[in-house]
Amino acid sequence: MPELPELQAHAERLSEQFGGREIAGFRPLAFTTLKTFSPDPALTHGHTLTGVSRRGKYLILHTDLLLDTGATDEGASPVSFIVHLMQGGRLEPDEKQAAKPRGGLARWTFDDGPALLLTEPGSERKAGVWLGAGDLGAAPPLLDLGPDADVVSPDDLAGLLAGHPMRLHGFLRDQHIVAGIGRRLANEICHRAKLSPFAGTAKLDAGQIERLHAAIGSCIVDGLAEERERTSLSKSKERTSAVHNQVGEPCPVCGDAVRAVEYRAYTVAYCPTCQTGGKVLADNTTSKFLK
Ligand SMILES: [Zn+2]
């Protein structure tokens, strides 16, 4: 799944390519794509897409359509499309505008130039589009999202760690606690911070929290620099990783073999020498098998 750096760079690219264009139409191509009933997306037709931004793992397409939803006292506020790509979704320029694009979920057309097409491979159809106006953080899907990982302060991080006693890897991936980090970044951040992915969040000392905060920041900065060099959203295997997708390979820091704890949906990858004092953690799949 694309994470904060990939989505941030992609938002910047889309903003450059589509910002300032007049929306001619928005059309869902699959029954489940549009997750909101109101506002009606047809109201945006004839209005301008002013830019694209990111919050957590969501892309936000801003328009200059003003609506008074009555939700705040501030009167009319701009309407936005909020897009979640999920695992394999893509939001890309669409030159061809085929009637039935492969994996097509929704399409924005403009007064001229290419359209913008949301696709998702396979049949899961989990990617979606929401419409909102005003305070987007006050409604789904951005409601209850934690602070973005690239702006959380050391003190806030310390508070969040103490307030959510759990394993560090799960903490980092929980979008309600800190937004924007997924499986790859969680692996990379734990490795760079020299912390076990299974360290208890409430038990980290000040020095460890400082390392964790620095690792979150630098992993995001590095990822963003790499993604900004690309012309479209990268695939997971194209992203430079020290431990993620590197199981069995030598750790670039110490040369020890990168190990894994396998879960059904994901793999926790780590370096024993750098992160667990040389201790090899029980592989979940194997331990279950032995039981
Ligand atoms: Zn190492």
User: Could you read off the pLDDT tens digit of each residue along the chain, which spans 291 residues?
Assistant: 899 999 999 999 999 999 999 999 999 999 999 999 999 999 999 999 999 999 999 999 999 999 987 766 778 999 999 999 998 999 999 999 999 999 999 999 999 999 999 999 988 788 999 999 989 999 999 999 999 999 999 999 999 999 999 999 999 999 999 999 999 999 999 999 999 999 999 999 999 999 999 999 999 999 999 999 999 998 888 999 999 999 999 999 999 999 999 998 889 999 999 999 999 988 765 544 443
Q: CA dihedral defined by 250, 256, 258, 260, rounded to 10 degrees?
A: 160
Query: Residues with Cβ < 8 Å from 204, sequence gap 6 or more?
Result: 161, 168, 195, 212
Taking the centre of ligand 1 as the mean of its atom positions, its distance from the CA of residue 242, in whole angstroms, is 9
The rounded Å distance from CA 126 to ligand 1 centre is 36
In-domain check, residue 94: yes
* Same domain for 229 and 111: no
The domain boundary, picked from 83, 108, 138, lies at: 138
Say yes or no: 252 and 168 in one domain: yes
Structure tokens at 215: 């690792």
Q: Is residue 143 part of a domain?
A: no
Tell how far the Cα of 121 is from the centroid of ligand 1, in angstroms: 36
270 domain-assigned:
yes
Q: What is the DSSP letter of 33?
A: S
Secondary structure class of 171 (helix, strand, coil): helix
Q: Which of 138, 164, 197 is the last residue in one of the domains?
A: 138
Give 243 Cα–ligand 1 centroid separation in angstroms.
9
- Comparing C-alpha atoms, which of 127, 122, 266, 279 is closest to residue 187? 266
Same domain, 115 and 78: yes
Co-location of 130 and 188 in the same domain: no
Is the distance from CB of 55 to CB of 136 less than 8 angstroms? yes
C-alpha 222/C-alpha 229 separation (Å) is 11
Read off the pTM.
0.94
**Same domain membership, residue 236 and residue 165:** yes
pLDDT at 289: 45
Last residue of a domain, which of 89, 108, 138?
Answer: 138
The total domain count for the chain is: 2
Cβ–Cβ under 8 Å, residues 22 and 48: yes
- Whether residue 149 lies inside any domain: the answer is no
Ligand 1 center from residue 259 Cα (angstroms):
10
Residues 210 and 83 in one domain: no
pLDDT of residue 236: 83
Residues 253 and 174 in one domain: yes
pLDDT value, residue 285: 55
Ligand 1 mean position to 201 CA, how many Å? 21
Nearest to 21 by CA among 79, 58, 63: 63
Where residue 266 sits, what CATH number does that domain have?
1.10.8.50
- Separation of 217 CA from ligand 1 center, angstroms? 20
pLDDT value for 71: 66
- Residue-wise pLDDT for 162-197, tens only, equals 999 999 999 999 999 999 999 999 999 999 999 999
- Show the domain range for 68: 4-138
Do 24 and 118 belong to one domain?
Answer: yes
Q: Are 99 and 12 in the same domain?
A: yes
